[in-house]
Structure 1
Amino acid sequence: MAESWGTAFPSDYRDFLAVYGAGTIDDHLLIATASPDLGETTLGDLTSVASRVTASEDDDRPYPVWPEPGGLICWGATVDAAALHWDTSDADPDRWPVIVRSREGDFTRHDRGFAEFVVRMLGPSAERPLESPTLYGAPNSRFLSATEQRRLKSEGTDPWEYLEELYEANEADDYDADDGPLIMWHPDGTKEVIPGGTPDGG
């Protein structure tokens, strides 16, 4: 991973990939892999898109894009076209903040790492870093690895079938978005329940 990019990656991101792999939460929040040989969406795919987009914009863009020194590496995206990056200007990857580029082209810096950003996206709506009405949050959100999504589709099953029920419950005001466990589906099809909760602080 580090060899092909010429840099290490944050330890929380590496730990996440080692356990869960690349995938998506609620068909809304995509988390990419750094490995180009897995047949999944990669950091390189997303960063290439970010590079093309920023190249078409004004020269006064606030951040360079990798492989420029300190450039942004795009590790994720949302269904509503927000791109999620690391600012790699710090020599220590565990101190890389998250930079969000909105659909409109605005950049917002979040002084927290990958894992905390994702956890906060699953917390109460008013406390999330981004507006995400189709990300249901704990205790109802599910992470499905790209491998698990392919397996379900090959069996004729919609991986995101549960979202319709959540939507209907939400519309009926029966949905409770308080913190709770997050259901994580591993590539082998086993389920793990991660205790919820949002870290203290802003």
Structure 2
Amino acid sequence: MEELIGTQKPACRILDPDEARAVLERLVPGLVALRRQVPAVFDWRVVEEEAGSTLPSDFKSLAEWYPAFGLDDFLGIMLPWPGEEAVRAEAEGNRSERWVSDYPADLRPAELISTTLIPWGDSMEGDQFFWSVLGDDPEHWPVTVCSRNGPWWHYEGGMVQFLAELCDGVLEPWALPPVKPEITGWAVEGGGWHQTA
């Protein structure tokens, strides 16, 4: 069984999704080049039915303004593509693999054995990033990190604030390498991926 090594808390939790996105944009300057001219329109009802839960507003705001993207050839942020909500749900059943963590319960820390984990990112090296569904309010779900090296840990801020603080070096990366604030790839229409040179 793995170990939950601790919880980090931001100095000030950002609850406004637009403010959190603006902080990430400031700390990852290349991100702004990917920003859509107008926010994408999602049928969040379909996405959330597929996920099995309402999703945090900072995630939805990020998805409306940006495609899925990669940071520092390390961390991939999984965001839905506009217009593909119903197609994926129909093709994959009510709840797709995208929203279901298949991380075996017997390999989780004891504190997380019965916790629903919803994945939102992963690394090129096998690290996984989730929301721990603790309570009915997705705005207060912690980010949970599963390091490929074994340790698990929580961050008690939103997913977008987590990315900003990880790239800024404010967050102690506990069992992760430092992540530079560099965009190294992003999703393109049709399901492809553009990698920076």
TM-score (normalizing by structure 1): 0.57
Report the Cα offset of residue 91 of structure 1: 0.7
Asked whether 1:142 is paired with 2:190, we answer no
Contact 1:83 1:102 (C-alpha < 8 Å) held by counterparts: yes
Deviation at 1:119, TM superposition (A): 0.4
Larger Rg over CA atoms = 1
Aligned residues: 138
Name 1:117's counterpart in structure 2: 162
Report what 2:43 is aligned to. Answer: none
- How far apart, in 1, do the equivalents of 2:86 and 2:131 lie? 19
**For the aligned residues, what is the CA RMSD?**
2.9
Q: Does 1:91 align with 2:136?
A: yes
Higher relative contact order, chain-length normalized (CA < 8 Å, sep 6+): 2
Match of 1:14 in 2: 60
Instruction: Map residues 13-162 of structure 1 onto 2, 5 A cutoff.
Output: 13-34=59-80, 35=85, 37=87, 44-45=96-97, 48=100, 50-51=101-102, 53-55=103-105, 57=107, 61-64=110-113, 70-124=115-169, 127-130=170-173, 131-133=176-178, 135-137=179-181, 141-142=182-183, 144-147=185-188, 150=192, 152=194, 159-161=195-197
Are the aligned partners of 2:55 and 2:138 in contact in 1 as well (CA < 8 Å)? yes
Alpha-carbon shift at residue 82 of structure 1 (Å): 1.4
Task: State the shift of 1:112 in Å.
Answer: 0.9
Residue 50 of structure 2 contacts residue 96 of structure 2 at CA under 8 Å; is this kept in 1? no
Tell me the alpha carbon deviations over residues 67-118 of structure 1, each in whole angstroms, 9 at most, x when there is no partner.
x6x5111111122221111011121111111011111332101111111101
Match of 2:71, as an amino acid? I
Q: Distance in 2 between matches of 1:105 and 1:36?
A: 36
Identity %: 22
Q: TM-score, normalised by structure 2?
A: 0.59
